[in-house]
Amino acid sequence: MAGRELNAGSKDGASPGATVIDWEQPWFTGVAPAGALLSLEAGEPLCDRLNRLLVTSSARGVRPQMDSGKPIVFAPQADLPDGTPYEKHIHDTGRIPTRDNLHDLFNGLAWLSYPHIKSRLNATQAHALAQPHMPPPGEGGKNGRGALRDAVTLFDENGLVLACSNDELATALRRFDWQTLFQDRRTATLVQTEPWVVGHALLEKLMNPYKSITAHTLIVPVDDSYFRASFGERRSTIDRLVSDWLANWPFFTPRDLSPLPVLGLPGWWAGNTAPGFYDDTDVFRPGRSRQR
């Protein structure tokens, strides 16, 4: 899967243009199979191209759908009625408003690649929006969303799932112990963890990688048999495990997400083998005392 040129616009959809996406980059692993199949038709709405991939998924017996059972459909941005929250509209209709830009392209690929996670995140957002007593602005989370919606928003936009079969490595990440995670136990990190980028804004940022890009990471314990499974089985396992965890943990807050400078991951960036790469404390910050 080499780099391919796709037509996409700016984040606000105002200025279409051509963008080369290298699907072989490690951060695109989870969405690359769908991304590599995207049509290159110039001028065709992104929602139409994504809907063709939905047809392909349905032919394989895998049709992404909402928790309610409604099949998802990618729709033009104008499909979103004025004054209707984006998350509520998707939850109620199964229709995902989609602009012709990279941000929504990666959002669409995330829906195709992690359908259970995305539908669960949306259901959680919609349920929170339906509550009669939301905290006022400045209380209980950013912009008055509350801690749960803050966590869901962070994970949806900037989330990474780290499958991990080694408790020492999981603890090192939670404690910001970069020396253990990336240097002393570097080989173990390579063979006993597997990162999956879920957040569509994070995928968009990684189009132009820079050292300080930091994911909000959910650590998922797995056993060693996980790493012997096929790519499709591993991705499906992660999709199910995270969805189930979200469904059964109503106390989800940003404290459950560990900051992870992703270009520090072994194999993700050639520069992280250079002496002193991890000494940059503006990026690889010292540990925190509180843990969940």
pLDDT by 10s per residue, the chain, length 292 = 556 666 655 444 443 445 789 999 999 999 999 999 987 666 889 999 999 999 887 656 667 788 878 899 999 999 999 999 999 999 999 999 999 999 999 999 999 999 999 999 999 999 888 876 555 433 444 555 689 999 999 999 999 999 999 999 999 999 999 999 999 999 999 999 999 999 999 999 999 999 999 999 999 999 999 999 999 999 999 999 999 999 999 899 999 999 999 999 999 999 999 999 999 999 999 976 544 4
pTM: 0.89
Query: Going by C-beta distance under 8 Å and a sequence separation of 6 or more, which residues neighbour residue 210?
Result: 263
Confidence (pLDDT) at 91: 94
Confidence (pLDDT) at 287: 75
